[in-house]
Structure 1
Amino acid sequence: MSPSDVTTIPVGDDYDVLVGHGVSARVVDLLPDDVARVLVVHGEPLARLAEPVVDALRAAGLDVHVAAVPDAEAAKTVEVAAGLWAVMGQAGFTRTDAVVAVGGGSVTDLGGWAAAAWLRGVAVVHVPTTVLGMVDAAVGGKTGINTAEGKNLVGAFHTPAAVLCDLDHLATLPPADLSAGLAEVVKGGFIADPRILEIVEEEESAVQEPGTAQLREVIERKIAIKAEVVAADLRESNLREILNYGHTLGHAIEHHEGYRMRHGEAVAIGMVYAAELAHRTGRIDAALLERHRYVLGLLGLPTTYSAATFDELLAALRRDKKTRGATLRFVVLDGLAQPTRFEGPDESLLREAYAALA
């Protein structure tokens, strides 16, 4: 692998995201120089993908400990996090040691949170193995776990030392997981970079095929969007909220489904809902609303939902991170690539938009 095969996307002056084939082998070079111990966290099904990372770290003379965690959202619990801290404590991890998270978005969320909380913060390098992890979860320093009351309600902002997006890992990704991850890519097209939507519309088959130039391009475009936004607003005080397009209803659906629905599938539904809100308030025209359904449909993602009543979702909506007091807030569009906040919508409007999803 030559340096020219690797795309480097800086996240401000804090760290870089490396995208390319075989980049996970660079993990040793991107850890702080004084690291002696490393905890490699990986999803239980991903032991084979973690092996090259573990081997590289051990070859560099580091004291490596490995922890397999449950797959998907089942990893994001306080009990699993506590298990990681037990490993670190028993191995004598100090503030100059590190965590490497190898897996999808749930594993990088969990690994980042474990690193953020241990001794109030040790270094973490993310090696995302899914489209979702590469374009969203691993980039930006958000870490967290779920509780019985909702998704990502406990966590911290903890900037990684680096993110290594190894495109070779996508060859093992089930097609449904790849498509679900592309929901976050499409989100980037609607809020910031319409070229992403054009690529999907022109090359929907190639975008869903691991190893293609089209998939790599939309991944890199979405990472660049997130890098620019989080560099300007790490702690989601203002601008970063635009990245939650589709997430308010999406998270409520995930909670209702007991996290059995893929995150990207829920976000796809949530984006259509946000577009319904925007259309019904005169912010976007019918063509842009329909474009949401069309582009997401090309990727086989859901654009309708009727498995819960609105009342069943309302409590989770009120616990959304963007809610302030009793005021619900949604990210909507004022036009293509023109995201904005919509605060305190009338409940009757919310119900009408939800009815349209059925």
Structure 2
Amino acid sequence: MTTSTRTPAPAALVLEDGRVFRGRTYGAVGETFGEAVFSTGMTGYQETLTDPSYHRQVVVMTAPHVGNTGVNDEDAESRRIWVAGYVVRDPARRPSNWRSVRSLDEELAAQGVVGISGVDTRALTRHLRERGAMRVGVFSGDALEADAALLARVRSAPGMAGADLCGEVATTEPYVVPALGTRRFTVAAVDLGIKGMTPQRMAERGIEVHVLPATATVEDVYAVRPDGVFFSNGPGDPAAADHPVSLMRGVLERGTPLFGICFGNQVLGRALGFGTFKLKYGHRGINQPVQDRTTGKVEITAHNHGFAVDAPLEGTPKTPFGRAEVTHVCLNDNVVEGLRLLDRPAFSVQYHPEAAAGPHDAAYLFDRFTSLMEGQRA
């Protein structure tokens, strides 16, 4: 149980390898557990906090100053904050923005999110880069247990490998985001942890979006008579996502235009017969360079993932649904960032083209999806 506070109390961050960082409480007082990851975005913290893909993760902000623009009621990407905990170095003492309605500290406390401030986030980030993402606990209050006792509790917490989390963040009831202007297409969007801006980007292109629960069946998808099917981002280990993989295979068998992002890219990889693997520390932030190999263009993209698809970078391997190819790669480490089928209208990327938060370099992918549906209709 957590309670909010306005007077900073002592806090400790304990990593599963035994390293301890001390600071002050930020947000709610209490304790929390999750996977320690870092995000390199210098802005967009409100969108980061409300991204369901961060479920069960304690996010370390590499930017030293956080909370400068406060919190507003318009920029949330979902119904709540999803991060398990929040780690910052130098929080804003007073927010300054004409849209701000409360401070980030107040918002974290109101939603029961345990955080810690005053941490050397540069040292913590370097540690996670060298040792990899790992389990962590954040503890705050005037009477903390001994480090050894806290470490034992961290090591008893569940890890991310094997975690099936989509059902914990997805909608439980279908809903519709209407097209803006004339409705040109209908899309069934499978919610694996969807962000609010994603159906908005499709609506801007004349698409009526039917957002369906992660438990949706093939019959549920085709009950809305879709021109295309979309698989969203989401949290957890793709190796545990057997139902979304089965659902996607059902869509691929029917040859309906298909677009997946982030977790949806990993699901497509599995549906095609490729494996997935856990990255050492993942890609998280809004400044990740990716090359679209089909055009040669380099784009700066928004990422939030700790797993990747194990597919060959060269050639066009045969899959149960025809030939496939890797269309995008991360220029930092050559991780697969996009897939497409050459014999069916299906493609995916490993990042977040809706740009909330993030650059708009990848907006063309929604147009590419629209073109696929136009081609299928023709």
TM-score w.r.t. length of structure 2: 0.25
TM-score w.r.t. length of structure 1: 0.25
Q: Which of the two has higher C-alpha Rg? A: 2
